[in-house]
Amino acid sequence: MPSADPLTKAHARRLAWLVGLGVAVAIPASLAVWIAVGGLRDWEPIHTARVANVSGALLLTTAVFGPLLLRRFPRPDRLRGFVMSWFALSTFVSCTWQLPLILFNDAITGAEVTTGNLPRFISWWGYGSADTHYGTVSSYMVASEMGWLVGMGTGLTGLLLLLRGRTRPGYLLMGVGGALQAYNATYYVFQSGVVEKWDNVATDSWIGPFLYFGLGALWPAAALTASVICLRFFVPGSSPAR
């Protein structure tokens, strides 16, 4: 059975530094650097946004899976750290990127594409120019995000229970939430392929498919990994610590 105390204070601090620096510091800093580079090289704003988003996606991947690489901590602790940071991180990304795009879509999608507006909209323009569903905030995109929020909310509820010492229901809800997230993200990509032949993906450069399929693989892979770990912690005798 998993411990009622999911992480030591030292481990929690290391996770906070890893994920916090990666998401709150490194990604904004990389976007700022690419804005400067794009200005010096006289790039079009959309191209700058796409290149910056590639850098951001790589840093985000590091922040997501980085907790598994903290080898100074025992394996079961690394697994617990990964699932806890995943649900916290996915919630943060949803609240700072996906939800604002839906709630303020007119302001974001209707903004004039200029160098002056680039610092404010760079993260949305980068991916939105690669995937027209997000670029136009289509009804399908909104429905897909609502499904993602169901999984995220389920997992976040489980995380809160875990932090309060209710480990079994916490891991169960996180396992179910991760599975829902993985299904949602996988369905989004494959439905676009089956129904639309991926016509929503920009093909004017390699960056569009890279962002679409790269992030399209990151979300379900991370969510499914978190789900499997949580469900193995939940089921007696099948802990991933073994």
User: What's the confidence (pLDDT) of residue 150?
Assistant: 96
Q: Is the pLDDT of residue 7 over 50?
A: yes
Task: Please state, for a pLDDT cut of 70, what percent of the chain lies above it.
Answer: 95
Q: Are 233 and 159 a contacting pair, CB within 8 Å?
A: no
User: What's the confidence (pLDDT) of residue 239?
Assistant: 60
pTM exceeding the 0.95 threshold for the entire prediction = no
Distance CA(142)–CA(130), nearest Å, equals 17
Q: Which residues contact 14 (CB under 8 A, 6 or more apart)?
A: 70, 73
Q: Which residues contact 100 (CB under 8 A, 6 or more apart)?
A: 108
- Beta pairing partners, 131: 201
Q: How do residues 173-220 score in pLDDT, each as one tens digit? A: 999 999 999 999 999 999 999 999 999 999 999 999 999 999 999 999
Confidence tier at 240 by pLDDT (50, 70, 90): low
Q: Is the pLDDT of residue 241 over 90?
A: no
Task: Please state, for a pLDDT cut of 90, what percent of the chain lies above it.
Answer: 81
Confidence tier at 10 by pLDDT (50, 70, 90): confident
